[in-house]
Amino acid sequence: ESDQEEPTHVVKIVLIGDSSVGKTNLLTRFCENEFAPDSMPTIGVEFGSKIVEINEQRIKAQIWDTAGQERFRSVTQAYYRGSVGAFIVYDITNPLSFRRLGDWYQEFKSQAEDNSIIMIIGNKCDLENDRKILQEDAEKFAKEHDILFMETSAKDGTNVEETFSKLMNKIYNVT
């Protein structure tokens, strides 16, 4: 019965980070617990949503995906507007995607609400043999910027739920 209740709040969360780090596959995992290995990059904006329960409130998280805009450095202001949280994603096998975290961080900070919550995601942690970025280097970045961090695999599902609830709990100030 409670499944049919309307959510109390709707919050907007954005996914950002370089192309090919796995944002779209993370979105699919978050929202459907599925992995689509051949997701096609399209132009525009897409989003998925997921209902979470926090402090007995039903919250609808609307998660926006760049849908390919990031390849052309053309993520628009409208994309960020009104977001209360962001996942900035890199690929643990791709050093360039890690070096770009600072740019994405600055861009989000300059566009989003002042008190929005940011979480770094090191995706593709299933590819341990190809790892180029140590977990401790990402932890250092997160600590310096006072933001959250976790490694995930959209492929096998590792930490995807955990990442999501960590961000939502921080947004709602729950520990």
Which chain residues interact with ligand GDP by CB under 6 A?
Answer: 19-25, 37, 39, 123-124, 126-127, 153-155
Tokens in use for 130?
Answer: 């190809």
Query: How far is residue 108's CA from residue 116's CA, in Å, rounded to a whole number?
Result: 9
Query: Which of ligand GDP, Mg ion, none interacts with 100 (beta carbon under 5 to 8 A by kind)?
Result: none
Backbone angles phi, psi at 168, to 5 degrees: -65, -40
Q: Give the pairing type, strands 46-54 and 57-65.
A: antiparallel
Q: How far is the CB of 154 from ligand GDP (least distance, A)?
A: 4
Query: Which of Mg ion, ligand GDP, none interacts with 161 (beta carbon under 5 to 8 A by kind)?
Result: none
**Could you say whether residue 69 binds Mg ion (CB under 5 A)?**
no
Count of other CB atoms within 10 angstroms of residue 51: 13
Q: How far is the CB of 76 from ligand GDP (least distance, A)?
A: 17
Figure out which of the listed residues 16, 18, 21, 24 binds Mg ion, where binding follows CB under 5 A: 24
Query: Which of Mg ion, ligand GDP, none interacts with 62 (beta carbon under 5 to 8 A by kind)?
Result: none
Place of tokens 């590819």: 127
Residues in the chain: 175
**Could you say whether residue 94 binds Mg ion (CB under 5 A)?**
no
Output 18 or 59, the one with its CB closest to Mg ion. Answer: 18
Tokens in use for 62?
Answer: 């609307």
If 0-12 CB within 10 Å is exposed, 13-18 middle and 19+ buried, where does residue 161 land?
A: middle
Q: How far is the CB of 64 from Mg ion (least distance, A)?
A: 11
**Could you say whether residue 152 binds Mg ion (CB under 5 A)?**
no
DSSP-derived letter for residue 82 is: T
Residue ranges in contact with Mg ion by CB under 5 A: 23-24
